[in-house]
Amino acid sequence: MDSGEPLPVGFREPDGEPIACLIERMHSPMERCRAGRRCERSFIGSVLELEERQTPTGGMISPLLVNPIGYLAIHPNTPVLPFATPSTKATYIDPRVKIVNGASVVVGLQDFIGPYATLNGHSGAIKIGNLTSVLDNSTLAPDPGGKNPQAVIQIGDEVVIGFGATIEGASTIGGYFAAGQPTAIGAGALIDGATVQPGAIVSPRARVGPGVTIPSGDMVLPGMNVTTQAEADTPKLGFVAPVTAPELSTITQTIAQNQGLTVGYSQLYQGNAATGVNIGANPTIGGVYFGSLSSILGANRQPGPNRDPYETSKSGPEFLTPHQGLVGTSLSTFPARISGKVEIGMRAWRAAHRMGRANAFRADQGQPISIGSIAHTGEHVTINSPLGGTLAIGKDFRADSGAVILSGPDVNAVLGNHVTIGAGAVLDRASLGSGSTVGAGAYLFNSTFPADTVIPPNAIYLNGQYAGQVQW
């Protein structure tokens, strides 16, 4: 972005500081700027130098650093990007995000990139705009097969990439600046070399195939496999429907909430005065200290209520103790990412032993999330409660790899004892009685089932009614 373009949403020109000076300083956060004076550059490692370095994608990266402005996802631009930026303007990249070749990954401002998301720039390149959320255990891989190193994934402004979703191949989601609109990819969905125009939605467990464009204002229905443009353009074929006002409102609320989490977690990392002022940080800004990874790793507290309107107080995970019941704790070395009021009715070491790699249980949006005990979880399991609500899970809980379990606003979701969730299944505001099993790849939304229910693999239930099968 140059001085003639508008600042991203949420930015304001500081009193007395020219816009051109602000833009130049944002390229290098350690520059000092005074009204009426030229910005003096003092940080050798700014993005202006970084873009001149050789990368595997050669000349592809430089154009991606502008329009809108972006920063390479490499040290020191993690977990707060760009380096030493005030929390209200920064992007937050969870320390557990897997970044492959960050020299080919360009990230904008005020984004939230959740735990165990994968940004794979090994071949091809990734560009993420502003005010965008790439949520837990999602994957962006422009060239997963290593056959098209010129492939680029472009994620626009105000986009939500849902829990466990995958974007691969040369894909475009949303737009930038005035062309941007709230756009969403649902949990467990797959965008495979496709385009999702600004203002469109791809529902959970749906797929959009190569070369297909989902028009603005359309929503791919849950579990659909859109492989032709006719299927994307013609609602009467049953693959798409118009986006409704409540659905757009949910996306807008999700963007706002994740922006609050971005501010909160950035502040947890670099807002501790006890760590001392960050060397090289702009001394005129203040409030930017040496980062404290121990506050944003493992099982740890969430940001306070001033950063998240859905919570009433700061809170952290609780584990069972021998003599005191559930006790709040902070364990930065815990192998999973657990934040907010997640209550687990077993000893922390035992829970860790039974959980698979890259599990993300976050109650920093809705809480409490309670789990009686864990029998086993696979890899990349996600548990959350976006926009409020609670989730109670009973004893001997099992979830296979890639499962996503969510509650939601004003919902008290309950999973009974001895419940098993299959690989890649997505539960959103669903309740299951004890002894129930959900098959791999299924999608349950806003539905309640009695004890000992068996949901077949890839089955879709919406509002308590069977709605077909996932098509891919």
User: DSSP states of 367-421 as a string?
Assistant: --EEES-EEEE-SS-EEE-TTS-EEEE-SSEEE-TT-EEE--TT-EEEE-TT-EE
CATH number for position 376: 2.160.10
Domain count, the chain: 2
CATH number for position 162: 2.160.10.10
Q: Which domain holds residue 119?
A: 19-260
Dump pLDDT digits (tens) for 332-354.
999 999 999 999 999 999 999 99
156/181 Cα distance (integer angstroms): 9
Q: Is the pLDDT of residue 12 over 50?
A: no
Greater confidence (396 vs 13) lies with 396
What would the two tokens of residue 24 be? Answer: 């130049």
Taking residues 96-118, what's their average pLDDT?
98
**Residue 194: which of 231, 224, 167, 218 has the closest Cα?**
167
Residue 465 within any structural domain of the chain: yes
Q: Is the pLDDT of residue 262 over 70?
A: yes
pLDDT of residue 290: 78
**How high is the mean pLDDT of the chain?**
87
Residue 135 gets which letter from DSSP?
Answer: -
CA dihedral in degrees (109, 37, 16, 276; nearest 10)?
60
Statement to judge: residues 354 and 426 lie in one domain: yes
* H-helix or E-strand spanning residue 42: none
pLDDT of residue 97: 98
* CB atoms closer than 10 angstroms to residue 349: 10
Residue 90 within any structural domain of the chain: yes
pLDDT of residue 276: 75
Statement to judge: residues 107 and 240 lie in one domain: yes
Given 260, 289, 323, the domain boundary residue is 260
Statement to judge: residues 204 and 301 lie in one domain: no
Residue 143 within any structural domain of the chain: yes
pLDDT of residue 54: 37
Residue 200 within any structural domain of the chain: yes
What would the two tokens of residue 431 be? Answer: 């309740």
Statement to judge: residues 432 and 318 lie in one domain: yes
Given 215, 234, 260, the domain boundary residue is 260
pLDDT of residue 2: 35
pLDDT of residue 292: 86
Residue 288 within any structural domain of the chain: no
* H-helix or E-strand spanning residue 141: strand 139-141
Dump pLDDT digits (tens) for 405-429.
999 999 999 999 999 999 999 999 9
Dump pLDDT digits (tens) for 139-196.
999 999 999 999 999 999 999 999 999 999 999 999 999 999 999 999 999 999 999 9
**Residue 265: which of 116, 93, 26 has the closest Cα?**
93
Statement to judge: residues 83 and 140 lie in one domain: yes
pLDDT of residue 283: 65
Given 260, 283, 311, the domain boundary residue is 260
Residue 267 CB contacts under 8 Å (≥ 6 apart), including other chains? 87, 303, 307
Asked whether 443 and 222 are in contact (CB, 8 A), the reply is yes
Q: Is the pLDDT of residue 230 over 50?
A: yes
pLDDT of residue 15: 34
Confidence of residue 274 (pLDDT cuts 50, 70, 90): confident
pLDDT of residue 314: 65
Statement to judge: residues 219 and 307 lie in one domain: no
Residue 276 within any structural domain of the chain: no
**Residue 1: which of 177, 126, 159, 172 has the closest Cα?**
177
Statement to judge: residues 312 and 247 lie in one domain: no
Statement to judge: residues 358 and 415 lie in one domain: yes
Dump pLDDT digits (tens) for 212-224.
999 999 999 999 9
Statement to judge: residues 428 and 344 lie in one domain: yes
pLDDT of residue 49: 33
**Residue 364: which of 330, 388, 396 has the closest Cα?**
388
411/385 Cα distance (integer angstroms): 9
Taking residues 381-401, what's their average pLDDT?
97
Statement to judge: residues 334 and 451 lie in one domain: yes
Q: Is the pLDDT of residue 1 over 80?
A: no
Residue 277 within any structural domain of the chain: no
| CA 209, chain centre distance (Å) | 22
Statement to judge: residues 251 and 346 lie in one domain: no
Residue 36 within any structural domain of the chain: yes
Sign of CA dihedral 233, 237, 240, 243: positive
